[in-house]
Amino acid sequence: MPPNFIACRRPACALRLLLLTLAALLGACAALPPRGVVETSVAFNDTGSTTLALLAAASHPATEAPPSGFRLLPTGEFSFGARIALARRAERSIDLQAYHIHRDVAGRALLRELRDAAARGVRVRLLVDDYHVGDIEPLLVDLAAHANVEVRLFNPLPLRSGAPIVRLLMSPGDFERHNHRMHNKLFVADNAMAVFGGRNIADEYFMGHSEANFIDMDLIATGRVVQDLSRVFDRYWNSVAAWPLHLVQGRPDAADATAPERLDAELRDAAPTPAPYRTDPIGLTSVEAQLQQGRLVLHHASAQVFADPPEKAVDARPPSGPSAAMGGLLGVIGGARQSVQIISPYFVPGTVGMPMMATAARAGVRTVLYTNSLETTDEPLVHHRYSSYRVEMLRLGVEVHELSPGPVRRSLSFGSFGISTPRLHAKVTVVDGRYVLVGSVNLDGRSAVGNTEMALAIDSPALSAELRRALEGERTNIMYRLRLGADGQSIEWLSRDEQGQSQVSTEEPGSSAWLRFTLWLQSLLVEERLL
């Protein structure tokens, strides 16, 4: 897991100030070769006769219904299984867009499925942000040597070796542009079914890590929205920020006869642990099981895709306001009339979010926030900035809940964490019991102005009710509830022990004087918009 002092998920950090001189001296020799003319390609539109397209059609009601279908994937094992099920049934194409693919069991297992699909004649387009690509780049090189596979890196850094943060800081050129990363997550098979949401491709997102695992949310989709998502992928794939892997490496695009053997040796033992349960918290069987039965159980609804343009990553100028993805979500949230329930692991409301919550409070809109506690966050500096807004939020009447690790482990509602640390990573908002907003967008400055992001607004009271039932049922079991102390300045954390007895703490769980000091010191060196 990323160390506390340097947030590997968020490349801006305090060390930038200390390493600028060293970067100028040692990074000057690194440079990307000319990109030149890169061939464009787009999603196939003639896939209606594929197995997945026929299954999607069979899952659509016979009577007239909204154009797209959706199913929540709240557990890691079922979410990973959905990707595998689609990859194994793909006949024409797989398009995968990822911020981070780790060289662990999950990452290697998914690459194996891409290789096997390509061997069947499926066209595979893999677009990965370059920031975390160092450890898996050799596997990507060997995968790209296969027929039917093309790998591109988004916003590649000139320095090709070293830890991600070192590569960022020591790469010559414009730091602001290098610091803009592609945070989107998307998997599309045969332009007929898609999986999207908050999960990166690594063990900790699929309940496979021994130290910490994430509570996250993906959805599987069918229907018209899949074509909308494919158009987003195409725009990124064909953007000037997407570089073919062989060009980044500065070598000819030549087949390597030894690549298949090397890749097979790396991938043959990658076998994620199957889910130890038959149904998820919603009561649904796996996507694989439903596809075997000939149809998916879906909520059909209309949806709108909010996607940042890829050009956001290559424009070094600080934007004047939130871009398309964040702006779209804030527009839906700002239109709330009754309630807003926000799940955001990294929540820094800033000068935009606080006035919105104040306006909502004056209008009688109930606002509920679910986020990480200091004990569960993998980004303590982000939590430090968020914590400076808590008292004001509570005074506005915002209901604030923070994840509590012990009760999560006991609950088993999101899987068996064992002794690993549960962490919240889902980015979901429910507005007025009608709209479900889900995607890669964190409600913080980095998503607003730094990363490229994508999210959907789904108009589905049924899907909203499913999420709300889960939230309302679990918040008293796995969350601290925060309230103002009697002095109106301090905060109290309310929870329940193993016997169900109420407990109140006036000290922040997981905090210490040393941690508070180090976080304060770091906060002086990192702008809030970069968190």
Q: Which residue has the tokens 């979010």?
A: 353
The confidence score (pLDDT) of residue 107 equals 97
Residue 15: per-residue pLDDT: 45
Helix (H, G, I), strand (E, B) or coil at 369: strand
Between CA 422 and CA 263 the distance in angstroms is 33
* pLDDT for the residue 14: 41
Bridge partners, 97 (sequence order): 127, 186
The number of C-alpha atoms within 13 Å of 150 and in the hemisphere containing its C-beta is 17
- Count of beta carbons in the 10 Å neighbourhood of residue 488: 9
Place of tokens 């923070």: 402
For residue 476, the model assigns a pLDDT of: 58
Give the model's pLDDT for residue 473: 60
Q: In degrees rounded to 5, what are phi and psi of residue 195?
A: -120, 130
**Residuewise pLDDT in 10s, the chain (531 residues):** 333 323 334 554 444 444 444 444 444 456 888 898 999 999 999 999 999 999 999 999 988 788 999 999 999 999 999 999 999 999 999 999 999 999 999 999 999 999 999 999 999 999 999 999 999 999 999 999 999 999 999 999 988 888 888 888 888 877 878 888 999 999 999 999 999 999 999 999 999 999 999 999 999 999 999 999 999 999 999 999 999 999 998 765 556 788 889 999 999 999 888 888 999 989 999 999 999 999 999 999 999 999 999 999 987 676 677 789 999 999 999 999 999 999 999 999 999 999 999 999 999 999 999 999 999 999 999 999 999 999 999 999 999 999 999 888 888 778 788 899 999 999 999 999 999 999 999 999 889 888 999 999 999 999 999 988 877 666 557 899 999 999 999 999 998 877 778 899 999 999 988 988 888 888 887 777 766
* Angle 106-111-112 from CA coordinates, rounded to 5°: 95
CA distance 424 to 400: 14
